Amino acid sequence: MSESTHLKSAPIGCRTASATQREPILFLFENLKNIKVPVLITDGRSDEIDPPKNSLLIANQILFAWLAFFECGHSFLYTSPKHFADTVNLFLE
């Protein structure tokens, strides 16, 4: 299996071939549902490093999650700083 094939088929948050190394990450993912405070999750809609579907999976596990997508890629913090700051401020109000 090539590295690129492995990355596409790996479970959320898993980018290693070792099952032993994946266990702690999967344990953390499964326990996201235990978070009972509001959480802001942000992502770029065209993020190729951390695909938006991962953010959606995480947000769906947390009861009070806010999910905000920005119309750019992985560097949305730098390409949309004002929009990001406004989103954070709205979340914190």
52, 44 in Cβ contact below 8 A?
yes
The pLDDT of residue 11: 43
What's the burial of 13, exposed, middle or buried (CB within 10 Å: 0-12/13-18/19+)? middle
Classified as helix, coil or strand, 7 is: helix
The pLDDT of residue 26: 59
The pLDDT of residue 16: 43
Amino acid type, 50: D
Question: Would you write out the chain's pLDDT as a tens digit for each of its 93 residues?
Answer: 333 333 333 344 444 444 555 555 556 778 899 999 999 999 988 888 888 898 999 999 999 999 999 888 888 888 889 999 999 999 999
Cα–Cα dist 46/52, whole Å: 7
Angle at 53 between CA 42 and CA 37, to 5 degrees: 45
The pLDDT of residue 75: 84
pTM over the 0.85 mark: no
